């Protein structure tokens, strides 16, 4: 659990000027060729680094099977290669290809390949095999990164097209699971990476959180919930102990569950916008709002673009060049201020 350390990483200044993700991906950050033994006191670690606190470590330590699709993986081959030729791996604790916990064919982070044409089909290929052999892992972590978008970079797919791609992939995943033999005993938790810090029509600091299951009665739960709530609920379902005081004490999401399942399956819908990855997907023109600024940002890795400016570019691409984005509420974070706004 690292949700209490995020202000350290998202400190003032452009992302590239900030301190590194010293709580993420410790083996690579410290140049370890592989992860040393968990909790080894002889290993110097950043104060915020998690040693045994990742969800997959918790699962591994308590003999709960799991499978990773794109989380903390890096590719040695392009995602455009045929699936059987792709090679992805991870050196993160317990997420090692040789442990059989990582799908090497599943594309890692790259905005060059589409979620619904490359990632979801690979996840689905394995899911069908698990269903056939009755070997589905208890925990699956599936990453669809197209929601990051490439802002309003001229010639790139529009934010709407990227998000449509992301939506289609998620919809197809739910479609497949809900039509499977595993539906009755499944819960799908959905949130955005880093909450994408994207403003909505109510409050600019909220995030999306979806819980999809035949045991969910639907509607909106107005209980204050956060990422820790999601993690803790997953732990409880899998019979895993809490990893910290945060997930021990946080509110669970049980208010969304009912006593009687609704086993009707979900049929995925076609988006109104042609999604990235399909012929005819809309692209940003040279006059798109903030196209000049977007052209100078780094989209080769996640969260390298300036936080507020990227959100403003996306907002303007949807709401219009003259619209004003409501700012996130950062004033309650000590030392926080909006510093990376660029509007051109």
Sort strands 66-69 and 139-142 into parallel, antiparallel or unpaired.
parallel
pLDDT at 1 over 50: no
The DSSP bridge partners found for residue 139 are: 66
3-state secondary structure 176-226: HHHCCCCHHHCCEEEECHHHHHCCCCCCCCCCCEEEECCCECCCCCCCCCC
CB 256 within 8 A of CB 217: yes
d(CA 170, CA 282) in angstroms, rounded, equals: 20
Confidence at 24, pLDDT banded by 50, 70, 90: low
Q: What is the DSSP letter of 315?
A: H
Three-state DSSP class for 252?
coil
- Give this prediction's pTM: 0.86
Average pLDDT of span 284-288: 97
Q: Which of 191-195, 244-248, 325-329 has the highest mean pLDDT?
A: 244-248
What residues have CB less than 8 Å from 321, skipping those under 6 apart? Answer: 289
CB 314 within 8 A of CB 198: yes
pLDDT digits (tens, 9 = 90+) for 170-206: 999 999 999 999 999 999 999 987 545 566 666 656 6
CB 110 within 8 A of CB 79: yes
Instruction: Give me the phi and psi of 74, to 5 degrees please.
Output: -130, 150
Confidence at 234, pLDDT banded by 50, 70, 90: very high
The DSSP bridge partners found for residue 141 are: 68
Average pLDDT of span 44-52: 56
Instruction: Give me the phi and psi of 146, to 5 degrees please.
Output: -65, -15
Q: Is 20 exposed, middle or buried (0-12, 13-18, 19+ CB in 10 A)?
A: exposed
Three-state DSSP class for 291?
helix
What residues have CB less than 8 Å from 334, skipping those under 6 apart? Answer: 7
Question: Residue 250: left if φ>0, alpha if ψ -120 to 50, beta else—which one?
Answer: beta
Q: What would the two tokens of residue 150 be? A: 């490439």
pLDDT digits (tens, 9 = 90+) for 60-110: 989 999 999 999 898 888 888 888 898 888 877 778 777 789 999 999 999
CB 70 within 8 A of CB 64: no
DSSP code string of 104-139: TTS--S-TTS-IIIIIHHHHHHHHHHHHHHT---SE
CB 122 within 8 A of CB 176: no
Instruction: Give me the phi and psi of 216, to 5 degrees please.
Output: -90, 130
């Amino acid at each position: 659990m690292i949700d209490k350390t995020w202000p350290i990483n998202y400190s003032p200044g452009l992302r590239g000027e900030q301190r590194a993700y010293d709580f993420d991906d410790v083996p690579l950050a410290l140049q370890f060729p592989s992860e040393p033994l968990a909790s080894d006191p002889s290993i110097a670690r950043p104060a915020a680094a998690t040693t045994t606190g990742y969800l997959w470590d918790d699962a591994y330590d308590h003999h709960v099977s799991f499978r990773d699709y794109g989380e903390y993986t890096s590719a040695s081959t392009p995602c455009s290669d045929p699936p059987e030729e792709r090679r992805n791996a991870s050196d993160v604790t317990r997420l090692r290809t040789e442990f059989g916990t990582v799908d090497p064919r599943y594309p890692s982070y790259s905005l060059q390949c589409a979620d619904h044409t490359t990632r979801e089909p690979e996840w689905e290929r394995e899911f069908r095999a698990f269903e056939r052999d009755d070997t589905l892992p208890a925990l699956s972590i599936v990453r669809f990164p197209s929601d990051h978008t490439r802002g309003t970079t001229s010639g790139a797919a529009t934010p709407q097209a990227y998000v449509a791609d992301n939506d289609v992939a998620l919809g197809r995943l739910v479609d497949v699971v809900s039509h499977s033999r595993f539906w009755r005993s499944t819960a799908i938790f959905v949130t955005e990476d880093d909450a994408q810090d994207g403003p909505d029509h109510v409050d600019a600091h909220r995030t999306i959180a979806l819980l999809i299951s035949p045991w969910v009665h639907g509607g909106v739960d107005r209980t204050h919930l956060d990422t820790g709530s999601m993690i803790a609920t997953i732990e409880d379902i899998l019979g895993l102990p809490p990893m910290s005081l945060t997930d021990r004490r946080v509110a669970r999401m049980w208010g969304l569950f009912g006593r009687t399942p609704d086993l009707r399956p979900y049929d995925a819908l076609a988006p109104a916008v042609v999604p990235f990855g399909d012929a005819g997907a809309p692209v940003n023109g040279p006059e798109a709002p903030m196209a000049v600024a977007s052209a100078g940002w780094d989209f080769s890795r996640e969260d390298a673009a300036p936080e507020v400016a990227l959100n403003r570019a996306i907002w303007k691409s949807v709401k219009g060049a003259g619209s004003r984005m409501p700012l996130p509420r950062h004033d309650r974070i000590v030392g926080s201020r909006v510093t990376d706004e660029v509007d051109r």
